[in-house]
Amino acid sequence: MKTKTNKPLIVMAVTFLLIVVVFFISLNLGVIKIAPLKTLQVFFGQGTARDELVLFEFRLPRIILSLLVGAGISVAGAILQSVSQNELAEPGILGINAGGSLAVVLFIYFFQGSASDLSFFGTFMLPFSALAGAILAAFLIYILAWKKGVTPIRLILVGIGVNAGFNALLLIFQLKMDPHDFMQAAVWISGSIWGANWNMIWAILPWIVILLLFTLYKARYLNIMQLGDQLATGLGTAVEKERRILLLAAVTLAASCVAAAGGIAFLGLIAPHVARRLTGPRHQTLIPVSAFIGSFLFLLADTLARNVLAPSEIPVGLVISVLGAPYFIYLLMKAN
Amino acid sequence: MHFHFCSKHSIKSAEKSDILKQQLIIIISNRKEVRQLSQHKNIRTASEEIQWTSRTYGAVIVLIAGLCLLCLGAFLSISLGAADIHLRTVWEAIFHYQPTKTSHQIIHDLRLPRTAAAALVGALLAVSGAIMQGMTRNPLAEPSIMGVTSGSAFAVSIAFAFFPGLSAMGLVLWSFAGAGLGASTVMGIGMFSRGGLTPVKLALAGTAVTYFFTGISTAIAIRFDVAQDISFWYAGGVAGVKWSGVQLLLIAGAVGLTLAFFIARSVTVLSLGDDLAKGLGQYTSAVKLVGMLIVVILTGAAVSIAGTIAFIGLIIPHITRFLVGVDYRWIIPCSAVLGAVLLVFADIAARLVNAPFETPVGALTSLIGVPFFFYLARRERRGL
């Protein structure tokens, strides 16, 4: 028994170390390379002005955002999978991200004029508009999949349809923008840490921290709910009520991530899966481990996206898609 | 009575096919009875009922009405646009072409090829979807859902990045290769997955494959700075098609449709189920192979000319099946005509919705197709 209780801690410690390693690699790499020693110097306040600027204004915010978004998406995926008892559920495939993306693109298009000069207030409004779109998408999926109850299969099929519909609308609006905004929107929809500055971090940090804590608090309900509706009801859970609350938490988490990083697919699927493999299905450990693994994977993918094809930068969402799709297909082939 | 005197081996082929037909009719009518029985148990709406008989008159009516609509659509498509041209001028430009008149030139060089391309692409995609649905018995089978179009677009983006200045014909070949790659990936996933390729698995596998290919091709596009050339492929449209494109579509269409007519009968049998088809003496794998080849030719040609235009291959075969029954000898031509009609009108709408700007026609067909997809997803029974 003792080994079992220690395992999640070990996994978290290892993942944390990995995050620290990638964190420093990511700080060093980029168009301007900064040697590890210099990085440390900058942190102790003895670096050159240029290095300070690069590290504190460009790289560090981006890394912190990556960690936050990775954690948020993964936990959203973990909740969705347990609540729908469907191991293929994920905010990207279900179309929740697409709804959030559409709302953000519309918000920028109508209220901000251009994505490049987003005001301070506008940045803080982004999560709210993403939330509105994501909730609309989730609501549509729920309503359209409802037919004397919601079966997991119908949920996913309807999600694919909602995804296609929102993407078509996005395309129509995108083509009305001027070329610069068009490119920006295209990159952003593919998933990219775009507005990497401290404002953005302050705008989404509270959402993600509060919701992560809330999910941890609700972990015991998630444990019971993944056993199935009947058993959960029998154990005295108000299944439908808890499900709605947890769904709302997942959608809100996904929406705040969409506001910061656009549509990231597959991460919400992979991280919880790996976490479940490593530490088992108890949500008290599954949720934090998913968050750690998600942060690690996202930071790794973003570092790759910045450097693999340098000096061009590819949207991090594409890296995750290309790496995540095969894993998804593998799961699909295994599933009955 | 006749059979009693013949040994099994001496039955002539004509009689054999008669027997097959009878068996088929028995099976079909049995199915009808089963359906009628099941109708007593659970009440279904009339629209959900599937006719297991083919309706020749219906098919002929659909063909004639479809062709009339197509002619009407073609004339509208030629006359409407940034410069409205009177219908009489359209007539004159086609039948008494005078190269010196501007309006005649617009019609001849821009509108005519565009209209022809819209009709051909619509027809190709619809037939491609019909064959896929028939072969896989999967109501959600469709080139864009199954990753065929994204495979094709992936190959086209590679061609753009690494072989700039490729001829139109070369591009089409790349597109074919990509369509084949996409189709075989999804089919392979289906073959190796536990429990076969159910509609849900197909849709999910297609989505994942689409994400994968789109990811790589977008990365290539950004790296090699051909994003603008490729974004056109993803938006989908027939606005800039030239006569050479129309020629390519015609050739691919002629080859693909001819092959399709040859295997139409076999597809009908196959659409009753693999076991049944085998029992009736069909080489199912051969038919499937030819079917996939047709799908690759038709989709590859359509994508290389018009980019990704989604959902036509999904909607049209369903509507056609509802109108003309289950015989693929009728479904294929009727799907072709109706697909052409849909895309010609969608293309007109794409010009008019937000005039003078063009709306991507691929996005429009998606918006039409998504509600239909919901309808199919909500339907309890997922057979054909």
Please indicate if any CB of chain B lies within 8 Å of the CB of A148: no
Contacts of B378 in chain A (CB under 8 A): 144-145, 147, 154, 158
| Average confidence score pLDDT of chain B | 78
pLDDT of residue A318: 87
Chain A nearest-CA distance from B200, in A, is 7
Instruction: Look at residue A270 and tell me if it is in a domain.
Output: yes
Give residue B341's pLDDT: 94
* Closest to A141 in 3D by CA, of A122, A124, A160: A160
B262 or A8: which carries more pLDDT confidence? B262
What DSSP designation does B358 have? P
A213 touches chain B (CB under 8 A): no
The reply to whether A65 falls in a domain is yes
Q: What CATH number is given to the structural domain containing A250?
A: 1.10.3470.10
Q: Is the pLDDT of residue B383 over 80?
A: no
Instruction: Test B367 with A169 for CB contact under 8 angstroms.
Output: yes
Q: List the domain boundaries for chain B.
A: 84-378
Most confident of the ranges A197-211, B26-40, B73-87: A197-211
| % of chain B with per-residue pLDDT over 90 | 14
For chain A, which residues score pLDDT lower than 70? Answer: 1-5, 31, 112-120, 149-150, 152, 178-184, 194-195, 336
Mean pLDDT, residues B25-37 taken together: 49
**How far is B121 from B253, CA to CA, in rounded Å?**
9
Q: How far apart are CA B288 and CA B132, in angstroms?
A: 9
Identify the band that residue B54 occupies on the pLDDT scale cut at 50, 70 and 90: low
Q: What is the pLDDT of residue B21?
A: 54
Q: Please report the pLDDT score of residue B48 as a whole number.
A: 41
Measure the CA–CA gap between B353 and B27, rounded to whole angstroms.
Answer: 48
Choose the mutation target among B192, B201, B207 for the interface with A, i.e. most A CBs under 10 Å. Answer: B207
Convert the pLDDT of each residue in A168-203 to its tens digit: 888 777 777 766 666 667 777 777 776 677 878 888
Would an 8 Å CB–CB cutoff place A144 in contact with chain B?
Answer: yes
B30 has pLDDT over 60: no
Q: Does A310 touch chain B (CB under 8 A)?
A: no
Residue A135 inside a domain? The answer is no
Can you give the pLDDT at residue A72? 93
In a domain, A140, yes or no: no
Residue of chain B nearest A180, judged by CA positions:
B228
ipTM of the complex: 0.81
pLDDT at B384: 43
Chain A residue numbers touching B211 (CB-CB < 8 A): 265-266, 321, 324-325
Q: Which amino acid does the sequence have at A24?
A: F
* Pairwise CA distance, residues B64 & A239, whole Å: 56
**Structure confidence at residue B17 as a pLDDT band (50, 70, 90):** low
Contact status of B34 with chain A (Cβ, < 8 Å): no
Q: Is the pLDDT of residue B29 over 70?
A: no
Q: Which residues of B touch A154 (CB under 8 A)?
A: 377-378
The tally of CA atoms less than 13 A away on the side-chain side of residue B90 is 20
pLDDT tens column, B193-247: 777 667 778 778 888 898 899 888 888 877 777 666 666 666 677 777 888 888 8
Task: Report the distance separating Cα A138 and Cα A94, nearest Å.
Answer: 8
Given pLDDT bands bounded at 50, 70 and 90, which one contains residue B51? very low
pLDDT at B337 (0 to 100)? 94
Q: Which residues contact A297 (CB under 8 A, 6 or more apart)?
A: A70, A74, A267, A270, A271, A320
Residues in chain A: 336
Domain interval for residue A260:
4-87+189-333
What is the CATH topology of the domain spanning B84-378?
ABC transporter involved in vitamin B12 uptake, BtuC (1.10.3470)
**Tally of domains in chain A:** 1
On whether any CB of chain B is under 8 Å from the CB of A66, the answer is no
Do A269 and A294 meet the contact criterion of CB atoms below 8 Å apart? no
Instruction: Assess if residue A161 is contained within a domain.
Output: no
CB of A18 less than 8 A from some CB of B = no
Q: What is the pLDDT of residue B3?
A: 37
CB distance B148 to B299 below 8 Å: yes
In a domain, A31, yes or no: yes
Tokens 């998630």 locate to: A222
Query: Is A182 a member of any domain?
Result: no
* Residues 88-127, chain A, touching B (beta carbon < 8 A): 88, 93
B336: pLDDT strictly greater than 90: yes
Is the torsion defined by CA of A4, A5, A6, A10 positive or negative? positive
CB contact under 8 A, B211 and A266: yes
Residue range A129-170, pLDDT digits in tens: 888 899 999 888 888 887 776 676 777 788 888 888 888 888
